[in-house]
Amino acid sequence: MAQKKIGIYGKLESTANSKVENLYVIVNKKSVVFIVKHLLKNEYIAIEHFEQTDEQAEWNPLFAYLQNNSTLIQNYYKNIYFVNNSARLILKQKNNNDDLLLAASELQLIHGNVSEEEIYTTSIGEKHFLVYGVSDKVSSLLTRFFPSGKWQHYASFFLQNVHENEVQVRLFEDYFMLYIIENGQTKLLNYFPLTQEDQNIYTLLNSCINAGVDTNTITLKVWGYIQEKHAFIQKVSPYFAAAQLVALEPKSMCVELNKFGLPNSYSSYFIF
């Protein structure tokens, strides 16, 4: 079994006849995060975070454990979302020639060929859509246990929100996601590994330069910040017009996480 990093539980109010909560299964490269959101209260009421260990490098035992409760889970949650969170994605403009085969070819052209993967697409407004790959093993395991589940990509949840001028950094265990938007137009969407401090600063600033963005006139927003781990954020923030660390929402979950000394480190996951 993968190692549990954190587990916080709220009161589940859904029943088979009155489903008021959604379940999100966020699959990262080396971790899986389960999040429950109360739809009526617009609050997150539970979170579990599992990480792979040296002894356990596959998700099969964890997903097999879920299989034993799959019927119960499907009876209680209104929607189940499988959320892929990886750098293997592209953002495309819609046109009349869009099809899955063409999208898969372009994804492989940019990110390399992976033979055993499922290709998914998610519409982003009227003009764009995301194309991303999920390994056959993970896809088949989850969809077999939870056939009502819907695949999404992490990026799709916030790309559909309205932004104006922001450089967004979303920090995870060993990588960060960079999303740059200027005058309502997406300029860059990419994932980068967290490496040495100077390299992280260079990557962030150089990406802004390549996107044609003047950091002196735009706001830096950061999700998932941990002071001891992400010192480069403090050093790079003076290059921007303003900087904002986005705290956890809602406050009820923030209070619970504060008990573990984690006021901001999970805010990247609370985006739905």
Phi, psi of 72, rounded to the nearest 5 degrees = -60, -45
Query: Which residue intervals of the chain bear CATH 3.30.420.260?
Result: 162-258
pTM of the model: 0.90
Judging by DSSP bridges, how do beta strands 3-9 and 43-51 pair with one another?
antiparallel
pLDDT for the residue 257: 82
Determine the 3-state secondary structure of 154 from DSSP.
Answer: helix
Q: According to the model, what pLDDT value does residue 56 have?
A: 63
Which pLDDT score, from 0 to 100, does residue 26 have? 93
Q: What is the pLDDT of residue 211?
A: 95
| Pairs from 25-28 (Cβ < 8 Å, separation ≥ 24) | 25/80, 25/81, 25/82, 25/83, 25/142, 25/149, 26/83, 26/85, 26/154, 26/269, 27/59, 27/82, 27/83, 27/84, 27/85, 27/134, 27/138, 27/142, 28/85, 28/86, 28/172, 28/173
SS3 call for 151:
strand
Q: What is the pLDDT of residues 14-69, one digit of tens each?
A: 988 899 999 999 999 888 899 999 999 888 989 989 888 776 666 776 776 677 66
The pLDDT, as a whole number, for residue 104 is 85
Single-letter amino acid code for the residue at 18: S
Bridge partners for 38 per DSSP: 21, 43
**29, 74, 31: which is closest to 52 by C-alpha?**
31
**Residue stretches of the chain with pLDDT short of 50:** none
Task: Give strand ranges (E) for 154-267.
Answer: 166-171, 175-182, 185-193, 219-223, 242-246
Q: How far apart are CA 181 and CA 152, in angstroms?
A: 21
In the sheet that holds 150-153, the strands lie side by side as 3-9, 43-51, 31-38, 21-27, 79-84, 150-153
- The pLDDT assigned to 97 comes to 65
Task: Quote the tokens at residue 91.
Answer: 């953002």
Determine the residue type at 34.
Answer: F
Q: Where are the alpha helices (DSSP H) in 122-176?
A: 136-145, 154-159
Q: What is the pLDDT of residues 232-244, one digit of tens each?
A: 999 999 999 999 9
* Structure confidence at residue 144 (pLDDT): 80
pLDDT at position 65? 67
State which CATH number among 3.40.50.2300, 3.30.420.260, 3.40.50.1000, 1.10.357.10 fits the domain covering 162-258.
3.30.420.260
pLDDT of 98? 66
